[in-house]
A and B are shown apart, each in its own frame.
Chain A
Amino acid sequence: MAASGGQPFRLATGGRVDRSTPIRFTFDGTNYAGFAGDTLASALLANGVHLMGRSFKYHRPRGPISAGSEEPNALVSVSRPGGRYTPNLRATQVELYEGLVAESQHRWPSLSFDLGAVSNLLSPLFPAGFYYKTFMGPRFAGPWAWKHLYEPLIRRAAGLGRAPQAPDPDRYAHRFAHCDVLVIGAGPAGLAAALAASNASARVILCDEQAELGGSLLAESAATIDGRPAADWLRETVALLASRPNVTLLPRTQAFGYFADNFVALQERLTDHLASPDPALPRERLWQVRAKEVVIAAGAIERPLVFPGNDRPGVMLADAARTYVARYAVKPGTRAVVFTACDSAYEAALALHEAGVAIALIADLRANPAGPAVEAARRAGLRIAASTTVVGTRGRLRISAARMGAVEADGGVRAGEEVACDLLLMSGGWTPSVHLHSQSRGKVVWDEKAEAFLPGAAVQRERSAGACRGVFGLAASLNDGDAAGRDAARRAGFTPPEGRNFRAEAWEHSWRGFSGLCPRGQGLRRGKAFVDFQNDVTADDLALATQEGFRSIEHVKRFTTTGMATDQGKTSNLNALAIVSEAIATPVPKIGLTTFRMPYTPVTFGALAGPNRGELFDPVRTTPIHSWAAEHGAVFEDVGQWKRARFFPRSGEDMHAAVVRECRTVRACVGLFDASTLGKIEVVGPDAAEFLERMYVNGFKKLQEGRCRYGLLLNEAGFIIDDGIAARIAPDRFHVTTTTGGAARVLAQMEDYLQTEFPELKTWLTSTTEQWAVIAVQGPRSREVLAPLVEGIDLSGEAFPHMAVREGRICGVPTRLFRVSFTGELGFEVNVPSDYGRAVWEAIWANVRAIGGCVYGTEAMHVLRAEKGYIIVGQETDGTVTPDDVGLGWAIGKEKRDFVGRRSLMRPDMARPDRKQLVGLLTADPTIVLEEGAQVTRDANPAKGTPALGHVTSAYRSEIVGRSIALALVSGGRSRMGETLHVPMSGGSIAVTVTSPVFYDEKGERLHG
Chain B
Amino acid sequence: MADAAILRRPAAAGLALFAHPRSVALSAVNGVARLSVRAGHETVAAIGRAFGVELPLAPLRSNARDGRAALWLGPDEWLLLLEEAEAEAAAAALQAAVGDRLWSCVDISHRNAGFLIAGPRVAEVLNAGCPLPLDPGAFPIGRCTRTLFGKAEIVLWRVGEAAFRIEVARSFAAYLASLVAEAAREHMALDPRRTGLG
A residues contacting B by CB (< 8 A) are: 171, 173-179, 203, 205, 242, 244-249, 270, 278, 280-282, 288, 290, 611-612, 615-616, 618-624, 627, 641-642, 682, 684-686, 762-764, 766-772, 788-789, 791, 809-813, 833-840, 843
Query: Contacts A281-B189, A685-B104, A811-B3: A620 and B175 contacting too (C-beta < 8 A)?
Result: yes
A619 and B152 form a contact (CB under 8 A) = yes
A621 and B171 form a contact (CB under 8 A) = yes
Q: Is B108 an interface residue (CB 8 A)?
A: yes
A835 and B10 form a contact (CB under 8 A) = yes
Q: Is B49 an interface residue (CB 8 A)?
A: no
- Chain B residues, Cβ within 8 Å of A288: 131
Q: In the bound complex, how far is the Cα of B109 from the Cα of A247, in angstroms?
A: 42
A770 and B111 form a contact (CB under 8 A) = yes
A623 and B2 form a contact (CB under 8 A) = no
Minimum CB–CB distance for A401 against chain B, Å: 50
A173 and B3 form a contact (CB under 8 A) = no
Q: In the bound complex, how far is the Cα of B131 from the Cα of A902, in angstroms?
A: 41
B196 and A246 form a contact (CB under 8 A) = yes
Question: In chain B between 94 and 152, which residues have their CB closer than 8 angstroms to a CB of chain A?
Answer: 102, 104-112, 124, 127-133, 135, 138, 150-152
Contact of B196 among A248, A290, A620, A762 (CB under 8 A): A248
Q: Which of the listed residues B10, B109, B170 has the most CB atoms from chain A within 10 Å of its own CB?
A: B170
Minimum CB–CB distance for B16 against chain A, Å: 12
Q: Is B7 an interface residue (CB 8 A)?
A: yes
Interface size class of chain B, counting residues whose CB lies under 8 Å from the partner chain: 35 or more
B2 and A791 form a contact (CB under 8 A) = yes
Which residue of the partner chain B has the closest CB to A615?
B178
Contact of B4 among A247, A270, A767, A812 (CB under 8 A): A812
Q: In the bound complex, how far is the Cα of B127 from the Cα of A641, in angstroms?
A: 24
- Chain A residues, Cβ within 8 Å of B182: 171, 611, 616
Q: In the bound complex, how far is the Cα of B172 from the Cα of A619, in angstroms?
A: 7
Q: Is B42 an interface residue (CB 8 A)?
A: no
A812 and B3 form a contact (CB under 8 A) = yes
- Chain B residues, Cβ within 8 Å of A623: 171
A771 and B197 form a contact (CB under 8 A) = no
B residues contacting A by CB (< 8 A) are: 1-11, 14, 36, 38, 76, 102, 104-112, 124, 127-133, 135, 138, 150-152, 169-172, 174-175, 178-179, 182-183, 185-191, 193-197
Which residue of the partner chain A has the closest CB to B195?
A248
Minimum CB–CB distance for B107 against chain A, Å: 7
A836 and B6 form a contact (CB under 8 A) = yes
B186 and A619 form a contact (CB under 8 A) = no
Minimum CB–CB distance for A845 against chain B, Å: 14
Q: In the bound complex, how far is the Cα of B105 from the Cα of A682, in angstroms?
A: 10
Q: In the bound complex, how far is the Cα of B193 from the Cα of A242, in angstroms?
A: 12
B174 and A771 form a contact (CB under 8 A) = no
B196 and A622 form a contact (CB under 8 A) = no
B102 and A685 form a contact (CB under 8 A) = yes
A812 and B6 form a contact (CB under 8 A) = yes
A837 and B9 form a contact (CB under 8 A) = yes
A771 and B107 form a contact (CB under 8 A) = yes
Query: Contacts A281-B186, A838-B9: A620 and B174 contacting too (C-beta < 8 A)?
Result: yes
Q: In the bound complex, how far is the Cα of B3 from the Cα of A791, in angstroms?
A: 11
A-B contact pairs, 19 of them (CB 8 A): A177-B127, A179-B197, A205-B197, A245-B196, A248-B196, A278-B190, A280-B187, A616-B175, A619-B151, A619-B175, A620-B174, A622-B171, A622-B174, A642-B171, A682-B104, A766-B104, A770-B111, A770-B112, A812-B3
Minimum CB–CB distance for B50 against chain A, Å: 18
**Taking chain B's interface residues, is the majority helix, strand, or loop, or is none over half, making it mixed?**
loop
Contact of A173 among B105, B150, B172, B183 (CB under 8 A): B183
Q: In the bound complex, how far is the Cα of B93 from the Cα of A620, in angstroms?
A: 39
Q: Once A and B bind, how many residue pairs between them come within 8 Å at the CB atom?
A: 163
A834 and B111 form a contact (CB under 8 A) = yes
- Chain A residues, Cβ within 8 Å of B7: 838-839
B2 and A789 form a contact (CB under 8 A) = yes
Contact of A611 among B14, B112, B132, B179 (CB under 8 A): B179
Contact of B104 among A177, A621, A684, A837 (CB under 8 A): A684
A791-B2, A839-B6 known; 15 new pairs, CB 8 Å cut-off, are A176-B131, A176-B132, A203-B197, A280-B186, A280-B189, A611-B128, A611-B179, A616-B179, A624-B11, A641-B171, A684-B104, A766-B36, A766-B104, A770-B170, A771-B110
Minimum CB–CB distance for B168 against chain A, Å: 10
- Chain A residues, Cβ within 8 Å of B107: 771
Minimum CB–CB distance for B43 against chain A, Å: 12
A280 and B38 form a contact (CB under 8 A) = no
- Chain A residues, Cβ within 8 Å of B190: 278
Minimum CB–CB distance for A615 against chain B, Å: 6
- Chain B residues, Cβ within 8 Å of A203: 135, 197
A811 and B191 form a contact (CB under 8 A) = no
- Chain B residues, Cβ within 8 Å of A619: 150-152, 171-172, 174-175
Q: In the bound complex, how far is the Cα of B102 from the Cα of A247, in angstroms?
A: 51
A612 and B127 form a contact (CB under 8 A) = no
A769 and B131 form a contact (CB under 8 A) = no
Query: Contacts A611-B179, A682-B106, A789-B2: A764 and B124 contacting too (C-beta < 8 A)?
Result: no
Query: Contacts A176-B127, A624-B9, A766-B108: A616 and B171 contacting too (C-beta < 8 A)?
Result: no
- Chain B residues, Cβ within 8 Å of A179: 197
Minimum CB–CB distance for B17 against chain A, Å: 16
Which residue of the partner chain B has the closest CB to A772?
B110
- Chain B residues, Cβ within 8 Å of A838: 7, 9
A769 and B178 form a contact (CB under 8 A) = no
Contact of B171 among A244, A770, A788, A836 (CB under 8 A): A770
Q: In the bound complex, how far is the Cα of B174 from the Cα of A837, in angstroms?
A: 17
- Chain A residues, Cβ within 8 Å of B138: 178
B6 and A766 form a contact (CB under 8 A) = no
